[in-house]
């Protein structure tokens, strides 16, 4: 039986900067990996040198996304929404912004994908949106009910082929041990972790989950370069160079090439640990 994975993520770049190592590894191991990106990324910030791309950012980012997803070895789907900004961004007032979408209708778009693709495993952002990004949180908010509705013949009866119930639902989540390590590095470099990110509006000290809430750890050491290559395709977003630039690459590859998840369905007790989403 073919193993299939569907990830529903907010922005063009979340698939590479986020769980890209997991996707690259599973695709290389023969899993049919599908990535659905909810928004066009048009409210995202642009890296220096890409100011001109501002005007046609959705178009630029669609091209970057397509090449990044093919580097990962996955199949791309889009939900077709307009990007919202970070908390308090004026882009969030736009009536077509993802976070203002009709929830019932948005859940239906994910139900359709689940019924068409029939994945055993579904992945989305966690309830904190990794760093409280409203689009990430909205992904969690629609994908969780869609996971359950897809297998229920009484819900969305006219959408997609027959009802299909995936087996597992995972949320991408960072352990706060890792976050503490990054905030330590930020302080070393004279940065304030409570006002981080390009717009200084991300409070790193509030991020992450206790270690015993992290249920799955995927080692992607052998796919480190693939993730890096896919991330580099998002040039208008800086190509995925983060805090870890301060660390030697051998160290990162050896100790940081892990992506971590909360297992939402079926539920598991705190402290549970697995190393394969299909195990
Ligand atoms: Zn994002």
Output the CA 76–ligand 1 centroid distance in Å. 16
In terms of Cα–Cα distance, which of 75, 38, 41, 24 is closest to 259?
Answer: 24
Q: For residue 18, report the distance from its CA to the centre of ligand 1, in Å.
A: 8
How many angstroms separate the alpha carbon of residue 134 from the centre of ligand 1? 9
Q: How many residues does the chain have?
A: 279
Distances (CA, A) of 207 to 87, 123, 218: 15, 19, 20
Task: Please return the burial class of 242, using the count of CB atoms within 10 Å of its CB with bins 0-12, 13-18 and 19+.
Answer: exposed
Strands 32-39 and 121-125, by their bridges, are: unpaired
CA nearest to 147, candidates 116, 118, 106, 111: 111
The neighbour count for residue 170, using CB atoms within 10 Å, is: 24
- What pLDDT is stored for residue 243 in this prediction? 46
- Which pLDDT value is given to residue 245? 63
For residues 81 and 142, give the distance between their C-alpha atoms in angstroms, rounded to a whole number: 13
- H-helix or E-strand containing 246? none
Going from the Cα of 17 to the center of ligand 1, the distance in angstroms, rounded, reads 9
11 CA from centroid of ligand 1 (Å): 5
pLDDT lower than 50: segments of the chain: 243
Q: From the CA of 241, how far away is ligand 1's center (Å)?
A: 15
CA of 274 to the centre of ligand 1 (A): 26
Q: What is the pTM of this model?
A: 0.93
Q: How far is the CA of 132 from the centre of ligand 1 (A)?
A: 10
C-alpha of residue 104 to centroid of ligand 1, in Å:
22
Q: Which pLDDT score, from 0 to 100, does residue 149 have?
A: 98
Q: Where are the domains of the chain?
A: 4-176+210-265
Query: Would you report the helix, strand and coil content of the chain in percent, each value rounded to 5?
Result: 45, 20, 35
The fold for domain 4-176+210-265 equals: Rossmann fold (3.40.50)
pLDDT of residue 237: 87
Q: What is the pLDDT of residue 250?
A: 85
Q: What is the pLDDT of residue 54?
A: 73
Ligand 1 center–CA 162 separation, angstroms: 31
Kind and range of the H or E element at 206? none
CA of 157 to the centre of ligand 1 (A): 31
- Tell me the DSSP string of 47-113: -TT-GGGGGGHHHHHHHHHHHHHHHHT-EEEEEEEBPP-STT-GGGG-TTBGGGS-HHHHHHHHHHH
Ligand 1: distance of its center to the CA of 61 in Å? 12
Compute the distance from residue 13 Cα to the ligand 1 centre, in Å. 7
Of residues 146, 118, 119, 115, the one with CA closest to residue 38: 146
Q: Please give the pLDDT value at position 246.
A: 66
């Amino acid at each position: 039986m073919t193993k299939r994975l569907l990830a529903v993520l907010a922005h063009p770049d979340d698939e590479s900067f986020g769980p890209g190592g997991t996707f690259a590894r599973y695709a290389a191991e023969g899993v049919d990996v599908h990535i659905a990106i909810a928004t066009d990324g048009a409210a995202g910030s642009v890296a220096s040198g890409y100011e001109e791309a501002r005007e046609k950012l959705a178009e630029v980012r669609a091209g970057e996304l397509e090449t990044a997803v093919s580097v990962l070895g996955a199949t791309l789907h889009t939900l077709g929404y307009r990007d919202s900004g970070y908390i308090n961004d004026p882009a969030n007032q736009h009536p077509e912004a993802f976070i203002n979408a009709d929830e019932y209708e948005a859940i239906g778009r994910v139900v359709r994908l689940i019924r068409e693709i029939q994945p055993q495993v579904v992945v989305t952002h966690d309830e904190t949106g990794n760093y409280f990004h409203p689009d990430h949180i909205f992904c969690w908010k629609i994908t969780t009910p869609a996971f359950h509705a897809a297998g229920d013949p009484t819900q969305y009866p006219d959408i997609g082929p027959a009802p299909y119930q995936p087996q597992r639902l995972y949320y991408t989540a960072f352990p706060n041990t890792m976050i503490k390590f990054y905030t330590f590095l930020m302080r070393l470099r004279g940065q304030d972790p409570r006002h981080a990110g390009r717009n200084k509006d991300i409070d790193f000290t509030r991020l992450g989950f206790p270690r015993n809430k992290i249920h799955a750890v995927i080692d992607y050491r052998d796919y480190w370069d693939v993730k890096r290559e896919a991330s580099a395709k998002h040039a208008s977003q800086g190509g995925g160079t983060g805090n870890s630039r301060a660390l030697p690459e051998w160290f990162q590859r050896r100790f940081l090439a892990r992506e971590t998840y909360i297992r939402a369905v079926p539920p598991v007790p705190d402290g549970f640990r697995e190393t394969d989403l299909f195990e």
